[in-house]
Structure 1
Amino acid sequence: MAMIAGRWSGRGRDGSEWVLTRADDGFAFRHRTGDVQIPAGEADRIAVERRWWRTFLTVTGTDHGGRGRLGGLTRREGQALTWAVGEVLLQSLEAWHDTVESAIAGARRDLVWMTEEATGALITARPNVTGVDQAKLVRDPASYGTEAVRLRIQAANWEVAAASVAAYRSFFDRVETSPLTEEQARAVIAYDNRLQVVAAAGSGKTSVMVARAAYAVKRGLARPDEILLLAFNVDAAAELQTRIQARFAAASLPSKGLQVSTFHAFGLSVIGQATGRKPTVAPWVTNGQDISVLAQIVGDLRKQDAEFGLDWDTFRLLFARPGGDLTGELVPDAWDAAQRVAGLKTFRGEIVRSHGERLIADWLFLHGVSYEYERPYVHDTVDQKHGQYRPDFYYPKIDTWHEHWGVDAQGKPPPTWTGYEAGMSWKRQLHRDHGAQLLETTFAGVIIDGTDLPRLRDELQGRGVTFQWDPDRLRHSSVKPVEDAELLRLIRVFMTHVKSNGLTRDHLEERLKGDGANRSERTRRFVQLYWRVHDAWQDKLAREGCVDFEDMLTEATAELEADRFTSPYRLVMVDEFQDVSRARARLTSGLLRGPGRHLMVVGDDWQSINRFAGADVSVMTDFNGYFGPGPTLRLTKTFRNHPVVAETAARFITRNPAQLAKQVVSAHSHVLRQSAHEGVCLCWVASASQISSAIADFLVDLDDRVRVGTVSAQVGHRVTVDVLGRYRHDRALLPSRVPDRIDARFRTIHSAKGLEADYVVVPNLAAGTYGFPSEITDDPVLALALTDVDTYPYAEERRLFYVALTRARRGVLLLSPENNPSPFVTELVKEGLVSVAAERGRNSVTVCPQCSEGTLRRRDGRYGAFWGCSTFPRCRFTTPSL
């Protein structure tokens, strides 16, 4: 082969000729399959390989696919080609670097934010110079790396942001009624493809959204008709629309065509435009009658199928207790004074030692089976190693004993239960020695796989025991079961998440194989009930030609993903992002298909309180994983809260490490003195019955302070007080008469989201099933339908309490019964985050030093007075004196 400068040629194994020619902009490759141009930046497609005494050429990305090596090169020719390829690559890398620097310089000059999309395109265009001698590069080789380029672009963006704030200061001062702060303006300017703004309560997130839309129009980044704002309810959407029109007009900007919509209204319009048939959302969904419809569905199923009715009652009465995790740690709810042990109270009144024993006892009771719990064994068993043996259950009508073992499917107890297996052997041998009849069940058989209760029933019936299920036996029980309404609400929440996450029967069956509460008889029974109700719900929707919100959002997303609806929006903004469901997130993602799309979401994961409506806070905490790379900015200055309120709320909520971190500061930090009723104050009451009078006293005292001028009201306005209850029935705590200078209203905390008042009263901060935190909202079965579960104790209830605190501009009054305080209250007291009011003479309540959840109460015992924890028997701390 004759070599010409910049030209190489030879023959392949099949005898075909090939020619490679160096050109100014790369290489030209000619082969029997055609001519291929190889740009300089792709010169790494050309490879020279030396095998023994032969040199081969491989060119990838051609029709021959690089499958065969092309021969004909001498060693010297191969070295020359390798050198030439390296030279071209280094030249292309220098050219690429110049392009990057030119783009950065242009962004700085024109005050243009370099988006992730633009950055990605630059990174993708970088030539691959792996294996090439980079000593000849003009600059330090590290400066050509993709990470170095990303850092330069990032630095340039923040330079652009700082310069833009200064250049557009007059715009940022006028676009909203109050001038935008530096961090608000930067959130507006950071015009990336994906941007998350984590906004503290009262930090002006709506101002940022309005200003962002106006800035996009002013800079020519998007026309009004290319902008979409999504809100969660009609009121929020209407407020945004009004603000947009008013502020655009003030800034002399056009707003016609800019769309503000709820997710639901927008989803319906997508389906209507894509299919020509706009669906109808079931009226019983839109008017809040969904639980009533579920009750009707369950009632019909019970009439049609007696087995369903039995399954429903069995789950509700035996498995659906508050807390619900029968696989977890035992939390005692009763005290056996005779045996001096804590345990769980059964329907019949005994105090038993485990979830399994209570389930068995209640199951026997509801079936009318006569039993005795821990009856002393008929034979004396006391010796040097053993006390008197008390088997778990005894059936007197058939003279049969029953032991419930705390062992797994392999017959093994927990590792810390020293001597348990030896005790099992001793008890079994004892029954054999005396010829006694012994029945056995296990934790695994009752709680996990559910096989032992049916087997126990067969064994007892085989011995002549009669079973007759009768829920009416509970009429005389002091233990109240879960009501139908509570189970219906749980099913509705579960349904919302199942649909939002697109889960099928197969998905749930796979998750049922997991660990912990997911893999239990309780969860399996719930899922079986759920699918019966789910199918009936879907049948009703189909009969009436309607959809529910979750199905509608799923269908709208399908239309977007199938390109049957082409989104005209270049800028999409989502308000209250902490409350999005997976279905809403998928719909949002569907709007971003294709280049040149921008998403800004604004929210506060600390205020995610709508899991009952499908909200999945993990969409926000994993924003980049779900929507792609982009910056996260924070609005940390609250314009609402008194500094003490802001600090107390932030310190309380940040105990949960699973949340997004941010520092919250008050714009009123110059307020150094904490006047009466400002900050966060705790008032103990003797019992829940005194809460209403405590609220009345607070309002009267506040009215007096307004009268004498120590508490100011705006001219022409009264001081506002919101009494924020955890439940609707807390409304009864609001006094019937309110002083003239005070405007007092009751709201639930959920309905107060987004609102504010001068003062907030949080009443009835008690522990218990319907306390605050509620023990009925975090049922473990919900984990089966959620993508990412926050395992921090009372995670959503903590966020709800944070929302209550941060509604207050000036001060918060917390009311808690000293005999049954909320663990939130004792945490605040222990951490020194509240001042304690002395007006009612109860400013010396002591938090339990052992559990930190209860307070110490004076009790009388067999040896006189002592102090014990209010959470007894869960905590059994005592002290003779304080």
Structure 2
Amino acid sequence: MPFIGVGIASLAVVICIVLLSRKAAKKHFLELVEQSKTDFPKIEEFFSSLNTLSEHYISKSDEQVFKQQWESFYTEIQKRHYPSKLPDYEKIAYFLETFLNINLEISNRNDVFLQKEMRESDSLLSNIDGKSLDEQQRKVVISDEDKTLVLAGAGSGKTLTIAAKVKYLCEVKNIAPKDILLISFTNKSAAEMTERIQNKLGIPVEATTFHKLGLDIIKNDLGYRPEVTDDLTTFVHNFFEKELLNHPDLVQSLTEYFTYYLDIPENMEDCDSLGELYEREKSADLETLKSKYDREHFIKDISSEKAKNLTTLNGERVKSIEETKIANFLFMHGVNYEYEKLYPFESDETNRKAYRPDFYLTDYDIYLEHFGISRDNKCPWLSEVEEKKYLDGINWKREFHKKNGTKLIETYSYYTKEGRLLPELEKLLQSNGVTFEPHDFTDIFETIYAKKSNKYFSEFIKLCCTFITLFKSNNFKMEQFELMKKQSAELENDFLYQRNCIFLDIARIILSEYQKYLAENKSVDFSDMINDAAAKVEAGASIPKYSYVIVDEYQDISQSRFNLLKSIVTATNAKLLCVGDDWQSIYRFAGSDISLFTDFERYLGYTNLLKIEKTYRNSQELINEASRFVTRNPLQLRKNLISGKELKYPLVFWGYDKEPYPALSQVMQRIISEFGPEKSILLLGRTNYDIEILKASGLFSVSWQNRVEKLTYLPSPKTPVAFLSVHKSKGLEADNVVLVNFKNDKLGFPNQIEDDKVLNFVLTHGENYIFAEERRLFYVAITRTKNRTFVLTDNQRPSIFFREFNESESCCFVHIRQNDDASKTHCPRCKIGELLKVEHDGKSFIGCSNYPKCRYTLNNISILSSPKQCPSCGGFLVKRKGNRGHWFIGCTNYPYCEHTEQIQKLKI
């Protein structure tokens, strides 16, 4: 029974606790009701402030200030845990949800504002210089974010959009014209922008360039205008022409660079076949230094009349970049050699071809063979049977030398992979008693490379100027060269390390002399001037209190210009609008750094990314093809360009076999017959040298007007024609376009000197995608047209870009040698070459189209008419006669392959 008493007492306690809790809860609820009477007005104030903010475009800075203003109140409301039965609880819940998702709320309100403002500003936006803006252009005009990047496609009317933005700011937002800083990149584009805004729209805003802007800042700060020069290229040309011989170390570095390091040899182990290696090396210069040197001396020695008549001189060309480097090393070190000299002893094997070792060192009676094998003595790029043939061939050569008492020394392709071909060659020669008598570097350089007509050297000068421009744009100091060398030392390839070091030594000397030149003339160049201007702004120099900074062609921004731009925006708290197209970023040689565009937000903070995607120049078919091509590089920003124009086959690849002149004539006739003689034709070259193609064609006369070469198309003199390099054509358009040099060559398209990886040292983020800038340049070339772009394509050595195009409604092939694999008999050795019938000394046999690189041959020409592949090794099955006189089907790779079939099973 006592337990019952305890239970009742406990129950009473529980009841008391419950009653007290209810009382406390009621009290708390009543307190919350009272608190809500204080909070509700603040919540209404929150929404009132948000509605007021929504009367204009809410920028990220507006949003951050608003959030900071209400963050503590939001936290307090959260802590109070208002119950849902509270009167008007919906107001609290709505506030909490709105603030929690304030980013989305503001984005939605901005969308509403944009639609409303576009309706109210329709009359203004429908008549900008007589043109009406599309919806994307209108969003650019009305949006008012702190930082805005506009992706504008080729021919999308970005200049019109910028002019409309200025008009809207001045006439609708009442921004004073003097508070708008409008920047373009060239005097011409700035003048055109000013003309459009001042004369056509009646708004007194003057566009400027970065150069003028920087000069004005320095002049205002110093009280005088500094002397500014822009002749780096002229200086470098003059320096090489007049001062080079005073710098023997530079002469040596230049000669070594061109002798050994201009071409980077391919790693055979990265190739699936020999044919792939041959394709990669098609652009390489395989003429030896000895051949070039002897030819120049021959031309000097013969009479002037003979020199005029001299058209060609057979040169010594080797089979690979590796062999070129070996030959050049021998020549530079005074080691006399003969290339592929016939071995003086004949083999007893009647089927064995005449033996020609790679090199014969004439003063030492030593033979040098360069064997294409990996470190583990294999050839993974060959088929199993071809590998066995090649390795057996190596052993045969070794034994043949032993048998005849001749000395054989060897180098191997895996030396190239490991970046030590030249050091190993040097050690090998010295250990075999070969002494070096090095050629005079100055003599070699002056004889072969120093001439202005040497295109490779001229392009190399451009590469040096690009490097120095980017170096100075980054405001690097001389100490940076040693840091770059240390960075190169991390490479696990001695060849690339040495290549980088030699180039850096060359660039360092040129830059040092250039800086002396500037100091002696008491001047600065544009990079120095812009860097100085940025430093002055950061240090508090007086500049106008801009409200808006608008930059046209932003894809051309350099590091120094970016620093100046950022310093101005930071100092003035101005809103920044940058308009450009990363697909058309092609001025790296002038210092532009594409990562400042593609990584815009990383450098400048939150960014409103807008797009102008409707193009008014190209057909949709051309846009599709050009967009697909340029976005093969995954780092290019994506746009979905659209056009109201349709035209089948706007991109035409027109093939030629030897010289481009007949193809050029046919293309010009085709354009004029289809579009009329009054329509403009723009002829484009990858470099200025390509105008020589036009001059040599006999189709054009060339005259000079105002220091510019003017073309006349002789068969139709009234047809407007012009020649420009692709770089100079950017921003222009013509009715039709002809690209005249689309081949796989060091100076073809892509240009393989200007796109050198050494530039990654001076780019904010190096581009690792192969030929990234050249890809953008080709995009610019083919989109200059209103109708069609014709691309003259070398059938023998088509550009590596060509393989990315296929025939479609967008793309047409004319006289293109089709790669119809079904109709070809492929070489079983290199796997890519085509087997062809060859006539020599009255005999017929089969050879490879990749000769002399690939020397595969067969005597049985019947396989071309009905090739049957051996199922065992990939060779060919042919009719053979056995020892006992009976016929059977056997493999051309016998005795390496002993596959046979009865003659009844296969008809040949």
Same fold (TM over 0.5): yes
Match of 1:365 in 2: 331
Query: More helix per residue: 1 or 2?
Result: 2
One-letter identity of the residue aligned with 2:217? V
Bigger RCO (CA 8 Å, 6+ sep): 2
Partner Cα separation in structure 2 for residue 454 and residue 171 of structure 1: 75
Match of 1:185 in 2: 138
User: Counterpart of 1:107?
Assistant: 53
| Number of the residue aligned with 1:280 | 227
* 2:461 aligned partner: 488
Q: Mind listing any 5+ residue stretches in structure 1 that lack a counterpart?
A: 1-82, 250-254, 337-341, 383-387, 707-717
* 1:100 Cα offset (Å): 5.7
Q: Identify the residue that residue 153 of structure 2 maps to in structure 1.
A: 200
- Matches of 1:595 and 1:875 in 2, distance apart? 70
- What letter is aligned with 2:335? V
Residue in 2 aligned with 1:690? 662
Shift of 1:234: 0.9
- Paired position in structure 1 for 2:245: 303
1:451, 1:91 → 2: CA distance?
A: 87
SS in 2 for 1:792: coil
How far apart in 1 are the matches of 2:36 and 2:593? 49
Q: 2:193 aligns with which of 229, 240, 252?
A: 240
Correspondence for 1:660 among 624, 634, 637: 637
What is aligned with 2:750?
A: 773
Aligned-pair CA distance for 1:397: 4.5
Residue 698 of structure 1: CA displacement?
2.5
Contact 2:655 2:817 in 1 (8 A): no
Q: Matches of 1:185 and 1:619 in 2, distance apart?
A: 25
Give the whole-Å Cα distance in 2 for the aligned partners of 1:691 and 1:140: 72
Greater alpha carbon shift after TM alignment, 187-196 vs 787-796 = 787-796
**Equivalent residue, structure 2, for 1:545:** 522
Structure 2 equivalent of residue 555 of structure 1 = 532
The alignment partner of 2:789 has SS state of strand
Give the CA deviation at 1:759.
1.6
Query: Would the alpha carbon gap of residues 189 and 683 (structure 1) be closer, same or farther in structure 2, given more than 3 Å must change?
Result: same
Partner residue, 1:122: 66
AA partner of residue 262 (structure 1):
T
Instruction: Tell me, in whole angstroms, the C-alpha distance in 2 between the residues paired with 1:745 and 1:361.
Output: 43
Count of residues paired in the alignment: 744
Match of 1:729 among 681, 689, 693: 689
Any idea what SS the aligned residue of 2:475 has? coil
* Contact 1:578 1:603 (8 Å CA) reproduced: yes
Shift of 1:594: 4.4
Q: TM-score, normalised by structure 1?
A: 0.72
Map residues 344-423 of structure 1 onto 2, 5 A cutoff.
346-347=288-289, 358-371=324-337, 397=363
Give the Cα–Cα distance (whole angstroms) in 2 for the partners of residues 319 and 193 of structure 1. 48
Contact 1:869/1:875 (8 A) holds in 2: no
* RMSD (Å), alpha carbons: 5.1
Shift of 1:216: 1.4
Question: Structure 1 residue 197: deviation in Å?
Answer: 0.6
Aligned to 2:818: 845
Report the equivalent of 1:73.
Answer: none
2:114 partner SS? helix
Structure 2 distance, partners of 1:367, 1:822, is 35
Identity rate of aligned residues, in percent? 25
Separation of aligned partners in 2, 1:875 and 1:202: 50
Q: Is the Cα contact below 8 Å between 2:742 and 2:748 reproduced in 1?
A: yes
SS at match of 1:592: helix
1:143 matched residue in structure 2: 97
2:606 corresponds to? 629
Unaligned runs of 5+ in 2: 1-28, 84-91, 279-283, 291-314, 349-353, 701-712, 867-908
Give the whole-Å Cα distance in 2 for the aligned partners of 1:855 and 1:89.
84
1:434-455: per-residue Cα shift (whole Å, max 9, x none)? 9999798997799758993797
- Please list, as runs of the form range in 1=range in 2, the aligned pairs for 1:631-650 lying within 5 A after superposition: 631-650=608-627
Return the alpha-carbon distance in structure 1 between the equivalents of residues 81 and 847 of structure 2.
79
CA contact (8 A) 1:356 1:446 kept: no
Change (3 A) 1:390 1:573: same
Partner Cα separation in structure 1 for residue 436 and residue 716 of structure 2: 67
What is the correspondence of 1:477-626 to structure 2 with a 5 Å cutoff? 483-503=456-476, 504-515=480-491, 520-594=497-571, 596-626=573-603
SS at match of 1:136: coil
- Secondary structure of 2:629's counterpart equals helix
Render the CA deviation track for 1:792-843: whole Å, top value 9, x for unaligned: 3322222222212222112222332333333334432356631235xxxx37
Structure 1 position 729, deviation (Å): 3.2
TM-score, reference length from structure 2: 0.70
**Over residues 557-593 of structure 1, what are the superposed CA-to-partner deviations in whole Å (9 max), with x where a residue is unaligned?**
1111111233421211111111111111111111111
Specify the code of the residue in structure 2 equivalent to 1:552: M
Counterpart for residue 727 of structure 2: 750
Matches of 2:253 and 2:220, distance apart in 1:
44
The question of whether the paired residues in 1 share the 8 Å contact of 2:463 and 2:753 is answered with: no
CA displacement at 1:305 relative to structure 2: 3.1
Distance 1:805 1:743 in 2: 19
Once residues 87 and 437 of structure 1 are traced to their aligned partners in structure 2, the CA distance between those partners, rounded to angstroms, is 103
Contact 2:259 2:325 in 1 (8 A): no
- Kindly state the Cα deviation for residue 334 of structure 1 after the two structures are TM-superposed: 12
Measure, in 2, the Cα distance between the counterparts of 1:794 and 1:741: 38
Q: How far apart, in 2, do the equivalents of 1:91 and 1:595 lie?
A: 43
The letter for the 2-side match of 1:368 is G
Match of 1:29 in 2: none
In the alignment, the residues of structure 1 paired with residue 724 and residue 598 of structure 2 have an alpha-carbon distance, to the nearest angstrom, of: 29
